[in-house]
């Protein structure tokens, strides 16, 4: 069961898809920069795992959870200062004591969120590490369970709600090789409310560790 205005969902999905295509088209058009480097050496694949700390909704006990991040990053210019990144974040939390205006009627359960975001970042050398910041709008998808009571059966449906999302990230990279670095990131998520119900996870902070590397 999906409760979301289809035209708006299609618009956001199309925007994200065009952004990803733009990253690859940019890679093709930037062959004139740094002939000694291949295009594949400018495409990185960051990954990380960390702690998610939700806040912003005092009416529900949403516990700390986990965040797993995979990303695609394109660095078009020499020096890697400006870059584009597409992120997929999978966040899992457990909750208790939901309120009447929540999207689920399960009082104790699990909230799974998938957040897709695309944006631009800036990287700066600071001694032995590189510091960076990224601003990424995107789409957040929350999945809930909803119980239905029928005269003879009880069924559990999956409820999906989609929201405009916003992610702000800062971090540091320590390079062990030219194209391989260990990373530490702090990030902030904001999910915009939809219709008349309240979000279980309107805001959260994250702390993650991981790596970034090229394929070749």
What's residue 35's pLDDT? 45
Residues with pLDDT less than 50, the chain: 1-6, 27, 30-35
Q: Where are the domains of the chain?
A: 6-27+50-213
pLDDT at position 166, please?
A: 94
- Running DSSP on this structure, what letter comes out for residue 102? S
Helix/strand/coil (H/E/C) assignment for every residue in 105-173: CCCEEEEEEEEEEEEEEEEEEECCEEEEEEEEEEEEEEEEEEEEECCCCEEEEEEEEEEEEEEEEEEEE
pLDDT digits (tens, 9 = 90+) for 111-167: 899 999 999 999 999 999 999 999 999 999 998 887 888 877 887 788 888 999 999
6-27+50-213: CATH topology is Porin (2.40.160)
According to the model, what pLDDT value does residue 34 have?
43
In order of 164, 175, 178, 199, 204, the CA distances from 56 in angstroms are 16, 36, 41, 9, 8
At 212 the pLDDT is: 97
pLDDT of residue 215: 83
């Amino acid at each position: 069961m999906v409760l979301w205005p289809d035209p708006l969902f299609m618009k956001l999905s199309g925007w994200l898809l065009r952004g990803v295509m733009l990253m690859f088209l940019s890679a093709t058009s930037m062959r004139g920069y740094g002939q000694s480097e291949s295009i594949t050496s400018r495409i990185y694949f960051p990954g990380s795992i960390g702690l998610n700390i939700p806040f912003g909704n005092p009416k529900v006990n949403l516990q700390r959870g986990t965040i797993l991040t995979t990303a695609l990053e394109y660095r078009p210019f020499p020096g890697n200062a400006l870059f584009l990144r597409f992120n997929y974040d999978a966040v899992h939390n457990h909750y208790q004591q939901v309120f009447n205006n929540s999207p689920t009627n399960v009082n104790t359960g699990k909230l799974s969120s998938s957040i897709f975001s695309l944006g631009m970042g800036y990287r700066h050398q600071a001694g032995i590490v590189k510091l960076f910041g990224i601003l990424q709008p995107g789409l957040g998808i929350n999945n809930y369970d909803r119980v239905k009571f029928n005269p003879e059966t009880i069924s559990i449906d999956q409820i999906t709600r989609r929201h405009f999302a916003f992610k702000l990230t800062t971090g540091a990279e320590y390079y062990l090789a030219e194209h391989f670095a260990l990373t530490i990131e702090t990030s902030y998520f904001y999910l915009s409310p939809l219709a008349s119900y309240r979000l279980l996870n309107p805001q959260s902070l994250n702390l993650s560790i991981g790596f970034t590397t090229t394929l070749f």
